Structure 1
């Protein structure tokens, strides 16, 4: 199949902007619990639609009082927290455009985005962020105002706006149209400078409203449940922003969690008790790894392994039944599944707060077996696919008909087309307006209404899309063999000891790989074998560790021809991190940077070999 379309379920409004929902909801149902917010003691408190509207209005008046005007761009640099959502809707209420910044961004990254977007004011979370902005402010003449959340920014702005009448905000809000720019979100910059994607109010409406209409059933674990989600994705990423907008427009209770560490996230999930969550595959990988290590540490590693196998086979049987290819799980399998549900799967669900039965995953590919395990454990992970340029998900697995290992079908109102070379093209109301002040770059990706994504994929007969790699990342060996690194890397990474894998081999005689280890997993693996963890520089040359990694490489090589297989690999002592410039803030590999930093190690893969 070369093209597949799913018609829209919701038509975007012809007037108004994103902030209108806040005011309309408060008017219609002022007592509706719109958000959850932790107080100073860490307890969750309800925020009603009326209270949220009043806070948005008060902050919007303060922004006007401090000189923010219709069309101005205001940067927000913070972790995921309640105040970010408050600022977004306050800025949209007066026709201004928030520009997100990752809280981990370097001074030069901050400078580039603030200058590129022509930002006139900036909101930061704490003093470190203020110092980062302050270090480049002399090169940003348009930046004239800076507010710090942890220094009372919201209270100060609210006080400043007391002299402004409510109607002034409403006049600004009524001037916003669906075609007005809502935000400028910069791409992650895996291959170069980030580009500012101009996303309109209509883009968010088309995306959020159709997702809510199609996936509304997944938001509630059971009939009558109050739909709630805990947002721990970074709001600087388009996925997080889309979730925020969809929650407010879809009347889903929204909570915020700034830290992704297990020590912080797991208690927050238990306290907030969401009915569904949205995350990147890394989160599900860590949850699975933590469950496995806990079981092994308690001497229950073998039963856990059997439970995983039963969950996978159970989910596969249900998958086949959903597509008319089988009768579903047999009696014996159902019996074993019930047993492990009490012993293992219930604990996995409890780690997510106890009420989660559905989750959505995006940002990168999820291993098919991992998705099957969670589905078998009672948490159906619906994998999707999208870009900053598509305001989040353009494709996602539908509830009840998940095809694991694919990213699903187009969300309602979206079309997918495969170009002659296999490139994925997308069209729909969520496709962006273009790159900020860069018509040449815009023309390069927008073709007669279609967005050329740069990703390669396949479409099956039912319109399910599978991403197979990126055009710019295809390797061509000196023998002329084209190799897509992504499937090999994902298979190697499936081994619990592996953190990252980068496949190399462009203009080389064969394919090689640079591999980093998961330090926590390796320490646990050694402890289970009664071995203390040696110095890390010694560990990367440990023959037992190398043998385990070799097994992962051999398993990956079974997927491809001999000419495409990994013939040499090197275990690295360092880690690929954002701080070293080797990962983007959304945890994507910066391949060119990795190969530059580890140029000597790459050369050693080929030295003396033919």
Structure 2
């Protein structure tokens, strides 16, 4: 681990410590209409935050209250976060795309009496649903330019009020900070989902402080670094980066998807958090630019990438950073080692020259000095993964979930193995469980089995694991037993001691963009059709959802006498596609990312003992494996 000289035991103390240590250094920066970034120092952010906290306390906010925070990435978000935490309260964050259903469930369920809103549009959503928010007493507008009326308070007016109170000697905020306990909540994040109500993940100060302190040493951040913030700030993945930056004196530059290309050139970041979709878009943009260029440029790029791929591949093998899921005998390893030494020296000079002429210019698309990015929120496609690591932009893929604050594993520069999510996070325990019989296949515990290259369900235990789901002991008990969190993911430990994610044992589908989709409500809706007997929604780590469908022989007997006959019938395929499109639509209450983009018809039904359990539940991992090629055919471009 990197040695962090941090005495703070909670985030409120960490904010104060950062202000004292980094003072006038830039902490956060936002750009104006002229594309110029204006920084605010650590001292200024803390001062505004503690002034806001003082005003909130004066309004009646109690320690351990829950306060809504509906906003996207902007300076006011972090000031509001400071204000809430410095009162000893916890925030309940969500983005400006919050739906009416989210508002009417999350705010009452979280017991929020106060809510920050970013702008007029979010305020209107709150007002529209106010009759269903009986506990909400105070609404605070974050945007300085939006006028307030009708009892809505201005955040900047509150900051000024708190400033005056502190000038008169008010030190209630300091008293609150001293009372914050490590086990107190710092946030209550409601997971998205379409099956049942959202679940409120309770994360404590100790959870987040452990993430800050346990950051591996070779992903070190220093005050000379620059980070761009593009992922939704209310997601815990982006939020942990905010905390890491604060603890190490790093300036965070707020951007958005519209401005990201410009801002990468303006800010020239050295590090960032990212999602697979960003890298895939950049990858496709690079290829399109190359393909649209003259033949000489294409030839130079192909030669440069060929040399880089061979050189970097040799380096990865010789440093034990090439994916190894099977293990190799010493004889084969020796032969491959000799071959890679030859490959290394053969491509050394060509790679240096072509990197300077070609690849350096490509890296300039990210600002030219990006020394790494942690990608999370979904699996990085292997071809995209290898491409960026080969051209000299290290992508450190990580793995985690909201319930684990979120990081459970991440690649480091020394352990950068494409195709894996790197080694287990420091001070984290891991078990891989055989889902068929409950046997422990691998465990970090001393004296336990340590079978590599064998997949099992991932269970974890560590200081980052959540306290539980708010007011939902039944859901908590399903995933937490004796401190062990069942992630619902399937993984294996490779022979170079990294974690590789291979699938999911639970039902949630996570799309490439990080959207969580519960397939059961979609499947239930599809099964309302008389033409569909069975179905399964797929799309894990893909851009969109698709479905594999077993047609109903009884209702389609005019087109064929068996499932196999129906699967071959073009008219049946058209009819079922139209049916799926009609059933899964915005008009039917589904979100845009829940739509089924492609469909395949199966030639045989799911059967008990094969694709189905004795209770007729789909064995998703069995179906996924059995129809892997058919599923992949829906995602070939």
TM tier, smaller: 0.7 to 0.9
Q: Is the 8 A contact 1:273 1:352 kept in 2?
A: yes
1:583–1:378 Cα change, 3 Å: farther
Gaps of 5+ in 2: 146-153, 322-332, 436-455, 509-518, 520-534, 553-562, 568-573, 607-637
In structure 1, the partner of 2:363 is 349
CA distance in 2, matches of 1:254, 1:349: 21
Matched, 1:203 2:207: yes
Give the alignment of 1:90-489 within 5 angstroms: 90-151=83-144, 153-165=154-166, 166-189=170-193, 191-211=195-215, 213-217=216-220, 219=221, 226-257=224-255, 259-261=256-258, 264-299=259-294, 300-301=297-298, 303-323=300-320, 326=337, 327=340, 330-421=344-435, 422-473=456-507
Paired residues of 1:208 and 1:242 also in contact (CA < 8 A): yes
RMSD: 3.7
Which whole-Å CA distance do the structure 1 matches of 2:315 and 2:496 have between them? 17
Matched residues in 1 for 2:113 and 2:550: separation?
44
The CA distance in 2 between the partners of 1:437 and 1:353, in whole Å, is 46
Change in CA separation of 1:609 and 1:473 when aligned onto 2, cut-off 3 Å? closer
* Equivalent position SS for 2:228: strand
| In structure 1, C-alpha distance between the alignment counterparts of 2:310 and 2:581, rounded to whole Å | 37
- Provide, for residues 505-558 of structure 1, a one-character-per-residue CA deviation record: whole Å limited to 9, x for no partner: 589979x99xxxxxxxxxxxxxxxxxxxxxxxxxxx9xxxxxxxxxxxxxxxxx
Q: How does 1:76-91 map to 2 (within 5 A)?
A: 76-91=69-84
Q: Distance in 1 between matches of 2:6 and 2:142?
A: 34
Q: How does 1:49-68 map to 2 (within 5 A)?
A: 49-68=42-61
SS in structure 2 of the partner of residue 417 of structure 1: strand
CA spacing shift, 1:483–1:64, aligned 2, 3 Å: closer
Q: Say which SS state the counterpart of residue 410 (structure 1) adopts.
A: coil
Structure 2 vs 1, CA of residues 144 and 311 (structure 1 numbering), >3 Å: closer, same or farther? farther
Q: Is the 8 A contact 1:423 1:455 kept in 2?
A: yes
Aligned equivalents of 1:96, 1:391: Cα separation in 2: 18
Greater alpha carbon shift after TM alignment, 109-118 vs 343-352: 343-352
- The answer to whether the Cα contact below 8 Å between 2:227 and 2:250 also exists between their aligned partners in 1 is yes
Tell me the distance in 1 between the aligned counterparts of 2:362 and 2:181. Answer: 45
Structure 1 residue 286, shift from structure 2 partner: 0.6
* Alignment check: 8 A CA contact 1:414 1:429 kept: yes
Q: 2:537–2:548: 8 Å Cα contact kept in structure 1? A: no
Q: CA deviation at 1:101?
A: 0.8
Q: Distance in 2 between matches of 1:133 and 1:451?
A: 35
Q: Tell me which residue corresponds to 1:605.
A: 601
Q: How many residues align structurally?
A: 514
Decide whether aligned partners of structure 1 residues 298 and 184 sit closer, same or farther in structure 2, where only a CA change above 3 A counts: same
* Residues 580, 387 of structure 1: alpha-carbon distance in 2 compared, 3 angstrom cutoff: farther
Q: CA deviation at 1:607?
A: 8.4
In structure 2, C-alpha distance between the alignment counterparts of 1:312 and 1:194, rounded to whole Å: 44
Q: Does the Cα contact within 8 Å between 1:390 and 1:432 map onto a contact in 2?
A: yes
Q: Do 2:300 and 2:358's aligned partners in 1 also have CA atoms closer than 8 Å?
A: no
1:314 and 1:569 mapped to 2: Cα distance? 47
What's 1:504 paired with?
A: 548
Residue by residue over 1:110-143, the C-alpha shift from the partner in whole angstroms, topping out at 9 and shown as x without a partner, is 2221122111111121111111111111111111
Checking the alignment, whether the CA contact within 8 Å between 1:9 and 1:412 is kept in structure 2 is no
TM-score, length basis structure 2: 0.73
Unpaired stretches in structure 1, ≥5 consecutive residues: 1-7, 476-481, 494-498, 514-540, 542-567
Asked if the contact 1:16/1:174 (under 8 Å) is kept, the reply is: no
Distance 2:416 2:366 in 1: 21
- By how many angstroms is 1:9 displaced? 6.8
Determine the C-alpha separation between the residues in 1 that align with 2:406 and 2:156. 32
Correspondence for 2:14: 21
Q: What CA distance in whole angstroms lies between the structure 2 residues aligned with 1:210 and 1:507?
A: 52
Deviation at 1:330, TM superposition (A): 2.3
Contact 2:225-2:269 at 8 Å conserved across structures:
yes
Residue 302 of structure 1 deviates from its aligned partner by 5.3
> 1:144 offset after TM fit, Å?
1.2
Between stretches 302-311 and 375-384, larger displacement belongs to 302-311
Q: Conserved in 2, the CA contact under 8 Å of 1:473 and 1:485?
A: no
Work out which structure has the larger RCO, using CA pairs closer than 8 Å and 6 or more positions apart in sequence: 1
Is contact 1:30-1:49 (8 Å) kept? yes
Distance 1:459 1:75 in 2: 40
Which has the higher mean CA deviation after the structures are superposed, 148-157 or 277-286?
A: 148-157
Structure 1, 273-282 or 59-68: larger mean CA deviation: 59-68
- Higher mean C-alpha deviation, range 350-359 or range 315-324: 315-324
1:338-395 deviation digits (Å, cap 9, x = unpaired): 3442344223321212210211111111122212211121111011100000001111
Is the contact made by 2:492 and 2:500 (CA closer than 8 Å) also made in structure 1? Answer: yes
Q: Which residue of 2 aligns with 1:73?
A: 66
* Kept after mapping to 1: 8 A contact 2:68/2:114: yes
Instruction: Check the 8 A contact 2:548/2:601 in 1, yes or no.
Output: no
TM-score by length of 1: 0.76
Native 8 Å contact 1:455 1:470 kept in 2: yes
